[in-house]
Amino acid sequence: MTGSGRSLLRRLRHALSDVVARVYLAACAALLVWALVVTAGDSSDESMAGVIPLLATAPFSLVLLLLPDHEAMLVVAVVLGAVVNAVVIGWCSRALRRGQNPDPSS
């Protein structure tokens, strides 16, 4: 439990329940699927489509590129980067909507 009595998992779920965060996650998922399809269809092994989802989930996904060199690590970097960014986006969105009225639940 955290200091305010809410678990970390509950805080993450709360941040990811925001509409703006979910739209961002959906956009990142669509970009990742698009990049995988384009790369699979490109027989020349020169596709740069994987760069687009990495840039959409930067900066966290760029840090994860230090993982071992494997095709699956690109997917892991994009997914984790998207989740971390979505949590930040959800937190910011709620804080901006709240404005000067503090949220009693946080």
For the stretch 95-106, pLDDT in tens is 888 776 665 665
pLDDT score, position 100? 61
Q: Collapsing DSSP states into helix, strand and coil, what is residue 44? A: coil
pLDDT reading at 16 higher than 90: no
Residue among 102, 92, 99, 57 nearest 76 (CA) = 57
pLDDT band, residue 17 (cuts 50/70/90) = confident
**Residues 15-31, mean pLDDT to the nearest whole number:** 92
For the stretch 65-96, pLDDT in tens is 777 777 788 888 899 999 999 999 998 888 88
